[in-house]
Amino acid sequence: MSILRVKQWHGRGLNAASARFWALLRGTITDNPELFLPVACLFVWQFTAIATKPSVFACALLLTLILFIYGFRVLGTTEWLRRLGWVSPRQGFWLYSPIAGLAAASGVWWFARIFHQSLGRLPPPQRVLLASFSGPMIEEMLFRGLLFSLIFELLRRIGLPLTAAVGATVFLTAIAFALSHNDRHGPRLYATILTGIAFGWMRVRSGSTAAATLMHAVYNLVLLLIAMLSGA
């Protein structure tokens, strides 16, 4: 066999292997969003957290945009995502959720002023990006998605009425959400519990963790902007 034929055969083998790999990856992404979406969220979250250099931050922006598009496209496409509440919200809540996020941020700002609490300084750009999308997405899928579903089903199975089960689930997930943050004492803890209840309320009223994610993202972004303006 000539050297030319060996190279051609080797090239065809590499092309076939590459095609199989991309087909497998494409199939995983399109056919298993319940697996790929949480993994993609974690990857983008971790990548964004270390995006201190301008070139890396630009990649983080691109990855965040891709995650945003993908997350929107797979809304309600599998039973598992529907159980997590990752579905399109009820009519009007794509509008109501950012308004609620703005209102919640204004309430926390007012709360902080009453108790003379600082909102802190504006974090670096990668932290702003993280807090404005991938962070809220992960937290809402975990607390108002997975944990919410588990607690609610448990309470219903032990015989708690629907309304009581919903209220208890919202409160318990808000407590877990607050305890997962660094500020676990004083007014900051209470403020985080209240915002957790607000995100839970959005989850229940809209029927969607995606709406709660949007509310959470707007809430974080507005507080960061307030911190920036206050420090100016």
Residue 232 has pLDDT above 50, yes or no: no
Position with higher pLDDT, 36 vs 214: 214
Mean pLDDT score, 59-88: 94
What's residue 204's pLDDT?
Answer: 97
Mean pLDDT estimate for the chain? 87
pLDDT digits 0-9 by tens, 181-203: 876 677 888 889 999 999 999 99
CA angle 53-58-59, nearest 5°? Answer: 100
Residue 208 has pLDDT above 80, yes or no: yes
Show me where the domains of the chain are located.
1-31, 75-231
Position with higher pLDDT, 174 vs 27: 174
Residue 113 has pLDDT above 90, yes or no: no
SS (H, E, C) the chain: CCHHHHHHHHHHHHHHHHHHHHHHHHHHHHHCHHHHHHHHHHHHHHHHHCCCCHHHHHHHHHHHHHHHHHHHHCCCCCHHHHHHCCCCCCCCHHHHHHHHHHHHHHHHHHHHHHCCCCCCCCCCHHHHHHHHCHHHHHHHHHHHHHHHHHHHHHHHHCCCCHHHHHHHHHHHHHHHHHHCCCCCCHHHHHHHHHHHHHHHHHHHHHCCHHHHHHHHHHHHHHHHHHHHHHHC
Are 122 and 151 within 8 A, CB to CB? no
